[in-house]
Structure 1
């Protein structure tokens, strides 16, 4: 099965995992690697690599990163050179749910990543209500 790693700033990745589990049930083969204010990029990168190694059982790892250009994304990108990982950046609850619910023994990393990219436009929307009061 494809491993999942939530990589992001502060407590956001942990909260996202908790919310995903509240809706879709326990997430197996999933880790959170949070960048905290006291972390430097190098130490964060080492923790991220260890998490990726633990999650990779041979089918690859999908990293969900919060922000393009941020340390979690940049350190994930560096791992792409030596690990079988894909990164989907801009993680949010709908995408985390999509990732968790579409992983199975038959899903490839390419298929799962494409599934998230296809779902991404529907994960955000603008809802406007015009109040017509007295």
Structure 2
């Protein structure tokens, strides 16, 4: 079964991060983006249902911007779908890790878990990090 990554967000975060991902990784996998609420009358339920219908034959990893937000909640309604994995908290380090291995990973749940752990380590408060290094050098 072919795999695909779906990025969905409030506003243009999904397409913006997709652009950045392409610059960093190229295009190792098929990616669909859903930028939500850009027009008046945007129908989230209709868009999500249409997207899931178009890709019903795919193993889907959906990454949304905000846990508990409307975009994430709309996808949560489809958790009973087979071959469907939902992650909230979209960020570039996670997506780089995931995208580079998605095509050939044996287990998507294991890949998602490992990518989440790796990406957590990339979030740093640089002021504190650099300050700590300077203090260590003074001793």
* TM-score under structure 2 length normalisation: 0.79
Q: Which deviations, in whole Å up to 9, do the C-alpha atoms of 1:16-47 show, x marking residues without a partner?
A: 0000001100253210011115255xx21221
Deviant stretches of 4+, over 6 Å: none
Residue in 2 that maps onto 1:50: 50
Residue in 2 that maps onto 1:89: 88
State how 1:83-122 maps to structure 2 within 5 Å.
83-122=82-121
Q: Which deviations, in whole Å up to 9, do the C-alpha atoms of 1:92-121 show, x marking residues without a partner?
A: 111111111011244332122222222231
Residue in 2 that maps onto 1:126: 125
Residue correspondences, number: 128
Distance of 2:28 and 2:70 partners within structure 1: 25
Tell me how far 1:83 sits from its aligned partner.
4.4
Residue in 1 that maps onto 2:22: 21
CA RMSD of aligned residues (A): 2.2
Distance of 1:27 and 1:39 partners within structure 2: 34
Distance of 1:112 and 1:55 partners within structure 2: 21
